[in-house]
Amino acid sequence: MDTTEVAVAGQIARSLVLDLADLPPAGDSATVRHRTETLGGKGANIAVALSRLGAAVSLIGVVGDDCVAGAALHRAHTDGIDTTAVVRRPGHGTGLIVELHTDGGRRHQMEHLSDGLLLTEADILAATPVLTSAASVILHARQPVGAVLAAARTAKAARRRVVLEGVPGEQAPTTELLALTDVLRLGQHDGELLTGRRLDSAEAAVLAGRDLLRRGPGLVALAAGEDGNVFLWEDEHVILPLAIRDPVHTTGGEDALVAALAFALTRGADPRKAAALAVAASATTVFHPGGRPSVSPVALGAHLVELSIPAQPSPPHHAEADYTGSH
């Protein structure tokens, strides 16, 4: 890939989604009605969504040295993703995420993701050409904080847009990381962890978002419970309601939201239009099992019309008391 618009640093895994009527009792078996095996993990899912939107995207992550790794990289290439910065870690098996979906909307997830599959600072150093050539860099904060910080510093030094999804673990230098971040996306749980506030309403998210803007980011996107999502920048904000009230898979929707938000900003959209695209992209993914994004410009057309909501001025701040395909 000659030119990268967006680089994504995050998890890569094999994803196996099984649909069955119910879990069998101990010692028994159950018939799987449908299965899907494909490329998964948050980093890979975000990259897939970006590629489907039309972005030139590079993936930075770690796979093992097994045959599954080769299949994962082949699938990424098929998805239009550059993998020159993907590390094949000797002595480790590629990550596996298994989801079981049963009648009644119940979902069970199991993961085999060894620590050897996490990004290191050395991995980030090797990926410097990708990080410094992309217009935007998306970082998943649940990778080791040293690697996340190294990537943010490298991208920021090259004047690239840094998009941070999630919050790092305990004892992380949050102050520096937020100062390096241009766009911050937090789900409700992560938002509450970072701000120390309940974010169960749009009003609460607006107040918390204003504080976060003062800490570095130029755009903050917060989940606000049943009120949907709040996007804040400068002295404005927009509240976008949930497009799907009974989602099947919220993780995939979150990955699609982050991808579409970064894509729109990279292509020059203003924050309001970028927010509308992000929420619409999420809605196209949450209705099916598995986290693999199903976004496409065609599918998003109607959503963009529905979500064309003007930005609102913010109130003054008040201190608050497929490897094998589908079968």
Alpha helices in the chain (DSSP H): 42-53, 67-78, 121-126, 128-133, 145-157, 174-180, 188-195, 202-213, 250-266, 271-285, 297-306
Q: What is the pLDDT of residue 319?
A: 38
d(CA 301, CA 14): 31
CA dihedral 125, 129, 131, 135 (to 10 degrees): 170
Each residue of 15-45: pLDDT tens digit? 999 999 999 999 999 999 999 899 999 999 9
Pairing type for strands 136-140 and 6-9 reads parallel
Question: Cα–Cα distances in Å, from 325 out to 8, 64, 71, 251?
Answer: 24, 21, 12, 20
Q: How far apart are CA 73 and CA 39, in angstroms?
A: 9
- Residue 275's SS3 state is helix
With a cut of 50, list the residues of the chain below it in pLDDT: 306-312, 314-321, 324-326
Q: Are 174 and 167 in contact (CB under 8 A)?
A: yes
Q: What is the pLDDT of residue 45?
A: 94
DSSP code at position 194 = H
Whole-structure pTM value: 0.89
